[in-house]
Amino acid sequence: MTKYYLTTAIDYVNASPHAGHALEKILADVLARYKRFSGEEVYFLTGTDENSLKNVQSAEKEGIPVATLVERNAQKFISLAKALNLSNDDFIRTTEKRHLLGVSKLWQACEKDIYKKTYEGLYCVGCEEFYKESELINGLCPEHKTKPELVKEENYFFRLSQYQKQLKDLISSDKIKIIPESRKNEVLSFINSGLEDICISRSSERAHYWGIDAPNDPSQKIWVWFDALSNYITALDYFNEDDKFIKWWSEDTQIIHIIGKGISRFHAVYWPAMLLSAHLPLPKTIFVHGYLTFEGQKMAKSLGNVIDPFALINEYGSEVVRYFFIREFSTTEDGDFSVKRIKERYNSDLAQGLGNLLSRILTLGEKYRQKISLNCNDLQNLTKEIENEYHKKMADYCFNEALARVWDLVNALNKFITDHKPWETINNAPQVFEKQLSTLILSLGKVALLIYPVMPETSQKILNLLSLNSRESEWHTFKVQLKTAPPLFPKI
Quote the radius of gyration of the chain (alpha carbons, Å).
26
Mean pLDDT, residues 200-226 taken together: 95
Domain with CATH 1.10.730.10 in the chain: 344-480
Catalytic residue among 110, 141, 199, 376: 141
Fold of 344-480: Isoleucyl-tRNA Synthetase; Domain 1 (1.10.730)
Report which secondary-structure segment, H or E, holds 480: strand 479-480
Nearest-angstrom CA–CA distance, 138 and 37: 49
Q: Is the pLDDT of residue 452 over 70?
A: yes
Q: Rounded to whole angstroms, what are the CA distances from 275 to 47, 68, 235, 281?
A: 20, 33, 15, 7
Which amino acid is located at 457 in the chain? E
Smallest Cα–Cα separation from 53: which of 192, 268, 242, 203? 203
Catalytic status, residue 141: yes
Helix (H) or strand (E) segment spanning residue 283: none
- CA contacts within 13 A on the Cβ side of 420: 23
Residue 120 φ then ψ, to 5°: -130, 130
Please list the helix, strand and coil fractions of the chain in percent, rounded to the nearest 5, in that order. 50, 20, 30
Which CATH architecture describes the domain 3-313? 3-Layer(aba) Sandwich (3.40)
* Catalytic residue selected from 54, 99, 124, 199: 124
* Angle value at C-alpha 81, between 75 and 85, nearest 5 degrees: 145
Tell me, yes or no, if 476 is annotated catalytic.
Answer: no
> What pLDDT shows up at residue 235?
98
pLDDT at 478: 66
Our answer to whether residue 21 is catalytic in this structure is: yes
The yes-or-no answer on residue 199 being catalytic is no
- Phi-psi region at 408: left, alpha or beta (left = phi > 0; alpha = psi -120 to 50): alpha
- 3-state SS assignment for residue 43: strand
Q: Which of 21, 25, 267, 446 is catalytic?
A: 21
| Annotation says 127 is catalytic | yes
Q: Where are the alpha helices (DSSP H) in 211-317?
A: 224-229, 231-234, 243-248, 264-265, 271-277, 309-316
d(CA 114, CA 109): 10
Catalytic residue among 18, 105, 267, 446: 18
Residue 99 among the catalytic residues: no
For the stretch 315-368, pLDDT in tens is: 999 999 999 999 999 999 999 998 899 999 999 999 999 999 999 999 998 888
Given 54, 99, 110, 127, which residue is catalytic?
A: 127
Q: Is 116 a catalytic residue?
A: no
Could you tell me which residues are beta bridge partners of residue 158?
Answer: 114, 198
pLDDT of residue 301: 64
- Alpha-carbon torsion angle 17, 20, 26, 28, nearest 10: -100
13-67 pLDDT tens trace: 999 999 999 999 999 999 999 999 999 999 999 999 999 999 999 999 999 999 9
Q: In this structure, how many other beta carbons lie within 10 angstroms of the beta carbon of residue 237?
A: 17
Catalytic residue among 261, 289, 298, 446: 298
CA angle 81, 82, 87 (to 5 degrees): 75
pLDDT digits (tens, 9 = 90+) for 223-249: 999 999 999 999 999 999 999 999 999
Phi and psi dihedrals of 46, rounded to 5?
A: -140, 180
Q: What is the C-alpha separation between 315 and 318, in angstroms, rounded?
A: 9
**Residue 97 binned pLDDT confidence (cut-offs 50, 70, 90):** very high
Active-site position among 301, 393, 435, 446: 301
